[in-house]
Amino acid sequence: MKIKREDFCVKPGERVDLQKWPTRVPPVYKSKKHYQELLETQVAELNTLQHLHYASNRYALLLILQGMDAAGKDCAIRRLLTGINPQGCEVYSFKQPSAEELQHDFLWRTSRCLPERGRIGIFNRSYYEEVVIVRVHPALLRNQMLPGELAEAKTLWHDRYHSIVDHELHLHRNGTRFVKIFLHESKDEQCKRFLNRIDEPQKNWKLSAADLEERKLWSKYMTAYEDCFRATSTDTAPWYIVPADDKKNAALIISVILTEVFKSLKMTYPKTTEARRKELDTIKKKLCE
């Protein structure tokens, strides 16, 4: 597949205009059968790398998926995790904060779910909601019980960007590696997917009137994401803007990004020491008696 992850990467400090980033690119697959073959190959390679990741037990990998409603976050998780050992990864979906979570700083609830070394953590939405949804709906700040001088500070969002960057840098220093994906869908494609949720009875539960209200705020969301990408895409934790109007193509692009990040870790299986070799030989002799 001719996919280069740098084509989708936001450079540190880069000004992002999402209208200039494509929501659809020429597919790397030629047919449905070809797509299935490519996906199976990618998932098999990811499974091998994940097994090595688990055995080497040196790094943690955190995959963050953000996007507008119906961008395909659930679909991407489902397709990429097919064939991967579930013992080595955890998926968390972050929705409206609970009463307990609102009593803590905005990074607290996600910090409790960070992956251990040797594991993959997948965040379906994340702490980035705190500089996107909360920025679009500033009234939500009232529920967070912040001191007045903080809630009303002009530097609020700037300060939160700094907290996120510092948080990710701290985790990177301690062995966590990030893959931050924004599934970039067009407003027209979202409309098609919403209509599909109405026309297919088994998908009716996925749509509500609230989704239409959020859709009216599209431009505000795009601005919030643009500012977020510029402030929080770093050398150690870059953002990738993945065209999402074609879900199959998006899954393949994400799989390549994940594969390349895994390979960059230069992982190896633990080496067997002389003492360990003797222990294994002893065990083998006893088994063969």
Domain count, the chain: 1
The pLDDT, as a whole number, for residue 139 is: 92
The pLDDT of residue 1: 66
Predicted pLDDT of residue 149: 82
pLDDT digits (tens, 9 = 90+) for 202-227: 999 999 999 999 999 999 999 999 99
Q: pLDDT: is 269 or 81 the higher one?
A: 269
Q: How far is CA 270 from CA 43, 219, 260, 273, 279, in A?
A: 24, 50, 21, 9, 16
The pLDDT-based confidence of 157 (bands split at 50, 70, 90) is very high
Neighbours of 81 (CB within 10 A): 18
Helices of type H across the chain: 32-56, 73-81, 108-111, 133-136, 148-151, 156-173, 187-199, 209-215, 218-232, 247-264, 274-287
Per-position b or e across 165-187, b if 16+ CB within 10 A of its CB: bebbeebbeeebbbbbbbbbbbe
Residue 81 has pLDDT above 90, yes or no: no
Query: Domain of 89: which CATH number?
Result: 3.40.50.300
Query: Are 130 and 167 within 8 A, CB to CB?
Result: no
Residue 153, pLDDT above cutoff 90: no
Residue, of 83 and 106, whose pLDDT is higher: 106
| Average pLDDT estimate for 136-152 | 88
**Average pLDDT estimate for 231-256:** 97
Largest Cα separation within the chain, whole Å, is 76
Mean pLDDT of the chain: 94
Domain extent for 237: 5-287
Examine the pLDDT at 16 and tell me if it is beyond 90.
yes
- The yes-or-no verdict on residue 83 having pLDDT over 80 is no
- Reported pTM: 0.94
Helices (H) and strands (E) in the chain, counts: 11, 6
- Phi, psi for residue 168 in degrees, rounded to 5: -70, -35
Chain centroid, CA 47 distance in Å: 18
In tens, the pLDDT along 107-123 reads 999 999 999 999 999 99
d(CA 70, CA 186): 10
Residue 182 to residue 108: CA distance in whole angstroms: 22
